Amino acid sequence: MSNGRTPYQEAARELLRQTVFDAAREQLASQPWSEITMADIASGAGVSRQTLYNEFGNRNEFGFAFVIHEAERFMDDVEKAVLEHTDDPRAAILAALEHFLRTAGEDPLISILLSDDGTGGMLPFVTTQGLPVVQWAAARLTAVIEDVWPEAPEPDVGLLAETLVRISISYVTTPGESAEAAARAVSELMGPFIDKALGSSAP
């Protein structure tokens, strides 16, 4: 019978992943991704290079896992923003977008991740090679929306979530206007579809 505790192997694996992600973050503070090797990360984390390869497969897969790990904290905040406006879908999407764009734009690590001079930075992980990240974020947002609005049509929710993720990534990677203005523009543009998919509190 389960006692509710995390199994040892799962806890050990989570500790390993957190440790190597922390090591990668420290490396990125002083040198670009293109110059960081798996050996550097392993050394910084105090584990063997083989352990790192066993867990992630290769350097590219590690890069994707690291980006998704960093994105988790942003998605947690997006979920909180949605949950604060469960009675107004448009307001929920507006609040989530605005918060995500503002915090991502101010985050120093995001700036590091997105800095790319064309010699192997991390930008491709969210742009030209970004499908795994898009799929992960869209699935996470889909789950949030379905929890709050369970009667919403599944195809509409999936389409809304993926579109919002792709638009958000576009604004983060190629920033222009303020987070508030960008979020309002997207909310107004997608408002009719949000009303159709999730309902509207408007009279």
Per-residue pLDDT tens digits for 149-185: 999 999 999 999 999 999 999 998 888 788 999 999 9
Are 22 and 53 in contact by the 8 Å Cβ rule? The answer is: no
- Round to whole Å and give the CA distance between 27 and 37: 10
- Measured at the alpha carbon of residue 61, what is the angle toward residues 107 and 154, in degrees to the nearest 5? 75
Kindly report the number of other CB atoms within 10 A of residue 80's CB atom.
13
Does domain 1-57 fall under CATH 3.20.10.10? My reply is no
Split at pLDDT 50, 70, 90, the class of 200 is: low
- Round to whole Å and give the CA distance between 174 and 180: 15
Structure tokens at 117: 């001079």
Query: Is this structure's pTM higher than 0.95?
Result: no
Instruction: Report the pLDDT value the prediction gives residue 175, as an integer from 0 to 100.
Output: 80
Every domain of the chain and the residues it spans: 1-57, 61-198
Q: How far apart are the first and last CA of the chain?
A: 52
